[in-house]
């Protein structure tokens, strides 16, 4: 059994003797050439992308702060006037009664 | 004058006629090495395509002190190993059992009387570690001289001999364990 096993292993290990090389597909060069002549997609460097995202995030945040601040000031403006009994700045233009 | 170097220099300037000439010189070698790694003609085709695309795009990076064939072999080996890693990673995440069911590889150039044994050998080669696999493929499948294998792998001749010794030992051990289940 041992000898037969070793014999079989030898047979497998030597099975590539006399092997010929395979031929590559006939149309392979054409496919390579097509791939090479295709315009390369623009690659944005990762660093540049990160900076762009960071700047966009900062601008967005600033805009949000500005809008919130405007909205809060607008409400406070009307409320404070009324609180102090102030009248609207413009009524019927009758300044003197 | 060294023809491959002259061709590579022309390719670095975008010469596609020179590229075709270089392809004619090395395509068989590249394809067969890729075939030994991938063990599927369609995968070997894809690897060969990637190799020559890289050769074209990186022709200007070739260091003239090296041999062109050595450089191309290195690109082929790296591309083949990366291909296998991607394929194995994909099959790990996919739900299908496809990677277990890949049929045994039938190399078109193997002698008829050796087909069955060669199928077994290629299946077993697949399980070798990358360095041992590379040393074995270059030495025994591509039939390269040991020194050339050492130059390609960037290691000493002694290291190649050691890798080959380990590769053959591992192959024999694996085959011996398969003996009871062999197809008679």
- Its CATH class, for the domain covering B1-99, is mainly alpha
- State the pLDDT at residue A80: 52
Q: Does A41 touch chain B (CB under 8 A)?
A: no
Q: Write out the residue limits of the CATH 1.10.10.10 domain(s) in chain B.
A: 103-184
Written in H, E and C, the secondary structure of chain B is: CCHHHHHHHHHHCCCHHHHHHHHHHHHHHHHHHHHHHHCCHHHHHHHHHHHHHHHHHCHHHCCCCCCHHHHHHHHHHHHHHHHHHHHHHHHHHCCCCCCCCCCCCCCCCCCHHHHHHHHHHHHHHCCCCHHHHHHHHHHHHCCCCHHHHHHHHCCCHHHHHHHHHHHHHHHHHHHHHHHHHCCC
Q: What is the pLDDT of residues A40-59, one digit of tens each?
A: 667 777 888 889 999 999 99
> How crowded is residue B54: how many other Cβ atoms within 10 Å of its Cβ?
16
Comparing CB atoms, the residue among A16, A22, A35 nearest residue B140 is A16
- The residue behind tokens 């299946």 is B123
Residue B48 and residue A29: Cβ atoms within 8 Å? no
High-pLDDT (> 90) share of chain A, %: 49
* Candidate from A56-60, B2-6, B53-57, B172-176 with smallest mean pLDDT: B2-6
The tokens describing B110, both together, are: 């193997």
> A43 vs chain B: nearest CA distance in angstroms?
16
Measured in angstroms, the CA of B76 and the nearest CA of chain A are apart by 14
Tens digits of per-residue pLDDT, B123-170?
Answer: 999 999 999 999 999 999 999 999 999 999 999 999 999 999 999 999
Are the beta carbons of B85 and B71 closer than 8 angstroms? Answer: no
Give residues with Cβ within 8 angstroms of B177, minimum separation 6.
Answer: none
Residue B98's pLDDT is: 47
Rounded to the nearest angstrom, the gap between the alpha carbon of residue A14 and the centroid of all alpha carbons in its chain is 53
The predicted pLDDT at position B170 comes to 97
Supply the pLDDT for residue B103: 74
pLDDT in tens, B63-86: 877 899 999 999 999 999 999 999
The two tokens of residue B2 are: 């060294």
Q: Which CATH architecture has domain B103-184?
A: Orthogonal Bundle (1.10)
What is the C-alpha separation between B82 and B76, in angstroms, rounded?
A: 10
- The reply to whether residue B48 touches residue A20, judged by beta carbons under 8 angstroms, is no
More confident residue, B142 or A93: B142
Q: How far is B95 from chain A (nearest CA, A)?
A: 31
What pLDDT, on a 0 to 100 scale, did the predictor assign at position A48?
87
Q: Report the C-alpha gap between A14 and A87 in whole angstroms.
A: 106
Domain(s) of CATH 1.10.1740.10: residues in chain B: 1-99
Task: Provide the pLDDT for residue B179.
Answer: 84
Residues B3-44: tens digit of each pLDDT: 999 999 999 999 999 999 999 999 999 999 999 999 999 999
Spatial distance between the Cα atoms of B129 and B86, rounded to a whole number of angstroms: 16
Q: Are B123 and B101 in contact (CB under 8 A)?
A: no
**Confidence band, pLDDT 50/70/90 cuts, at residue A73:** confident
Residue in chain B nearest A13 by alpha carbon: B121
Q: Give per-residue pLDDT as tens, A16-28.
A: 999 999 999 999 9
Instruction: Say if CB B141 and CB B39 are below 8 A apart.
Output: no
Contacts of B110 in chain A (CB under 8 A): 15-16, 19
CB B119 within 8 A of CB B106: yes
């Amino acid at each position: 059994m041992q000898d037969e096993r070793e014999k079989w292993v030898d047979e497998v290990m030597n099975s590539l003797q006399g092997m010929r090389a395979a031929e590559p597909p006939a149309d392979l060069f054409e496919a390579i050439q097509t791939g090479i002549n295709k315009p390369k997609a623009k690659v944005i460097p990762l660093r540049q992308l990160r900076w762009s995202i960071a700047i966009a995030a900062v601008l967005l945040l600033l805009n949000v702060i500005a809008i919130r601040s405007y909205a809060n000031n607008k409400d406070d403006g009307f409320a404070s006037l009324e609180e102090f009994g102030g009248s609207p700045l413009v009524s019927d233009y009758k300044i003197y009664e | 004058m060294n023809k491959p170097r002259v061709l590579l220099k022309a390719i670095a300037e975008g010469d596609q006629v020179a590229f075709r000439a270089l392809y004619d010189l090395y395509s068989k070698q590249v394809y067969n090495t890729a075939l030994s790694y991938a063990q599927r003609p369609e995968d070997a085709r894809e690897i060969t395509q990637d190799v020559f695309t890289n050769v074209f795009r990186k022709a200007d990076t070739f260091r003239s002190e090296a041999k062109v064939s050595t450089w191309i072999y290195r690109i082929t080996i790296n591309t083949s190993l990366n291909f296998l890693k991607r394929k194995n990673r994909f099959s790990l995440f996919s739900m299908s059992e496809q990677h277990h069911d890949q049929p045994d590889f039938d190399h078109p150039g193997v002698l008829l009387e050796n087909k069955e044994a060669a199928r077994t050998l290629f299946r077993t080669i697949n399980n070798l570690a990358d360095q041992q696999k590379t040393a074995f493929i270059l030495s025994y499948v591509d039939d390269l001289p040991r020194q050339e294998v050492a130059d390609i792998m960037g290691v000493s001749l002694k290291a190649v001999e050691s890798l080959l010794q380990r590769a053959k030992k591992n192959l024999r051990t694996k085959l011996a364990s398969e003996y009871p289940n062999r197809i008679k």
